[in-house]
Amino acid sequence: MNPKYDALLKEKMSEKSYEKLTALKNQKVYDFVGLFAEHCNPATIYVCDDSAADEAYIREQALAKGEEHKLAKEGQTIHWDGYGDQARDKANTKYIVTPENMERMKSLNAVPFDEGQKEIMEIAKDNMKGKDAVVKFFAEGPTGSPFTIPCIQFTDSWYVAHSESILYRPAYDHFLNMKDDEKDDIFRFIHSAGEQDERGCSVNLDKRRIYMDLQNNMVYSQNAQYAGNSVGLKKHSMRLAINKAGEEGWLCEHMFVMAVVEPESKRQTYFAGAYPSACGKTSTAMVPGEKVVGDDIAYFRNIDGEFRAVNVEQGIFGIIKDVNSSDDPVIFENLKKGQELIFSNVLQGPDNNPYWTGMGEDTPTEGNNHHGAWKLGDKDANGKDVTISHANSRYTMRLDYLANFDKEGFEAKQGVKVDGLLYGGRDSDTTVPVEESPSYASGILLKAATLESETTAATLGAEGVRTASPMANMDFVSYPLGEYTANNLKFTEGMKEEPKVFSTNYFMLSPEGKFMTSKLAKKVWLHWAEGRVHGEYEGYKTPTGTIPLYADLKKLFKDLLNEDFSEEDYTYLFTFRCTKWIEKLERTKAFFAKMDNNVPAHIIEAWDKAIAEISAAKEKYGDQIKPGTFKG
């Protein structure tokens, strides 16, 4: 298919692998594999199709090469990342940008295209030498769908290939059946773990780079093993998709997709939700009694005038710390089963079972973990106690293991119709537990764009520090923030019906500094929002939306959780705090100005108008407006 690479690929591939590659009749794929076969110089290249035999081969090779190790339960394996490679490398995750786009991208982590590509290609040169590589085909979203983005991964890490086989839909057959005019529109990922130690961990971390070429929808990841740096189809692909969506008029968002199920009628209403880290995203998606389509990344398209969504993934790459039978019963149950699961950076106990911090069970005092051979009391290089599992330890698991998995919604080629959007941050003193926005546009500007996550003294030192996180997406937005926000606003133009938009906040504290509701109270807020979608609840107005009536919440708490909910707590939780809201909006304006010097004027004007309206309400009703008082 290309004389430049034909002989080389035949040399490095078996006859069967070469046949699989050429059968695609895709010049872009062939040249991509040929270029990096030559440049990265692996000893062999195995090309996978969608067969069970190839999936099994990937799992076998991950074990044979020591990148994963068997645990006691059938199907469970464990993987360790080396110290210094156990979290996303934000500093070395960069966009390589053509000269005409450098000014536009300057607030993001961008480097000039020629400079960035030269550096990454120098690092990648012979980085696979002597190693066996694998080529695997996947799809973001369902195959054969308006949402489908075909992807090719070329990697020398069989752990990465195994992780992606759990997390993403197989798509060799999709590539095989692509029409000629579709064959160029693909995402490409080249990854090498580089030199590895005896535990399979990347060694040359000073040369770790994750460079994204938005112009050509391609990601280079070198000298990394931690999945957040190496699994290209997750957050790297998300950055490509956000940029592509911005150019084409759809949305890629850092959101779960779930169905809230009305208990009596069994009516299913689909919501998508964005929550910054540690603000309740996974626990909301997995609330007992509801159904989950996906927990992390969603694509949205306007299909026949409807706001429709798909889950990009088919698995979960979840933080395992504090996952236990009380707080996360659905996940915990599956982590204890003998089925295909990859644990990373947890403890491998003497009984060859996995253990992690906060699992709610007695744990061993010795074993193997991210530290190596470990016993209770071991110290790290800084003299701190080494915990049984790393704070960023993870599990990789298929979604369809879950009893509350919505198979029909997951497989829908046209996606599910989204009737509600949820935006949840963490603050102790400002945002009420649930509030409906007056409109989609005000929801984007006052609920989504103002999202913040507040630190606590117990965990991060300075209490009350608020980190801005518009749409819970700031680490992944791949073009200017003002443009991105404007595209969210424009997305619903021409739709027959816009989804309702709600804010949530599970972290309001009492004057004594205690949380005022149980962790499962989020089920009540969800069901009030679901009822509002269907016009079943009245509410009180506030300067920024509509809040529940006490009688409705009292009944929901009793019916759903068998808990009492006092009117005193209701009044405190749902009081509108004017000064706090004005400060929040001013912080949002300042953050947007810092990130983008060309924020559209209509966005700033909307915030200024909201500030003026809240100031007028404060003048009329006082700084703290109790539920039912405001008559705006």
Chain segment 240-273, per-residue pLDDT in tens: 999 999 999 999 999 999 999 999 999 999 999 9
User: Would you say domain 252-314+408-625 falls under CATH 3.90.228.20?
Assistant: yes
Question: Do residues 422 and 284 make contact, with C-beta atoms less than 8 angstroms apart?
Answer: yes
Among all residues, which ones are annotated catalytic? Answer: 279
pLDDT given for residue 632 in this prediction: 80
Where helices occur in 231-309 by DSSP H, the ranges are 235-248, 281-285
Chain segment 353-384, per-residue pLDDT in tens: 999 999 999 999 999 998 899 999 999 888 99
Cβ-count burial of 193 within 10 angstroms (0-12 exposed, 13-18 middle, 19+ buried)? buried
pLDDT at 309 over 80: yes
Specify which residues 435 forms β-bridges with.
Answer: 503
pLDDT at 584 over 90: yes
pLDDT given for residue 457 in this prediction: 41
CB atoms within 10 A of CB 324: 15
Cα 299 to Cα 581: distance, rounded to the nearest angstrom: 31
Beta strand 93-97 with 132-140: parallel, antiparallel or unpaired? unpaired
- Rounded to the nearest integer, the mean pLDDT of the chain is 95
Residue 156: alpha-carbon gap to chain centroid: 24
Cα 254 to Cα 472: distance, rounded to the nearest angstrom: 7
pLDDT given for residue 465 in this prediction: 83
CATH superfamily of 6-67+87-248: Phosphoenolpyruvate Carboxykinase, domain 1 (3.40.449.10)
Chain segment 493-526, per-residue pLDDT in tens: 999 999 999 999 999 999 999 999 988 999 999 9
Q: What angle do CA 88, 292, 446 make, to 5 degrees?
A: 65
Domain ranges of the chain: 6-67+87-248, 252-314+408-625, 317-399
One fold for 252-314+408-625 and 317-399: no
pLDDT at 620 over 80: yes
Residues 6+ apart with CB under 8 A from 182: 150
Chain segment 145-187, per-residue pLDDT in tens: 999 999 999 999 999 999 999 999 999 999 999 999 999 999 9
pLDDT > 90 fraction of the chain, expressed in percent and rounded: 90
Chain segment 431-466, per-residue pLDDT in tens: 999 999 999 999 999 999 999 998 754 343 455 689
What average pLDDT score do residues 220-224 get? 97
Phi first, then psi: what are they for 283, rounded to 5°? -65, -30
Chain segment 93-136, per-residue pLDDT in tens: 999 999 999 989 988 999 999 999 999 999 999 999 999 999 99
> 317-399 sits in which CATH class?
mainly beta
* Residue closest to 490 by CA, chosen among 244, 238, 250: 250
SS3 assignment, position 323: coil
Chain segment 385-398, per-residue pLDDT in tens: 999 999 889 999 99
Q: How far is CA 484 from CA 236, 306, 454, 600, in A?
A: 17, 21, 24, 10
Beta strand 187-192 with 218-222: parallel, antiparallel or unpaired? parallel
Specify which residues 395 forms β-bridges with.
Answer: 318, 343
Cα 198 to Cα 373: distance, rounded to the nearest angstrom: 13
pLDDT at 234 over 60: yes
Chain segment 36-81, per-residue pLDDT in tens: 999 999 999 999 999 999 999 999 999 999 999 999 999 999 999 9
Max CA pair span of the chain = 80
pTM over 0.85: yes
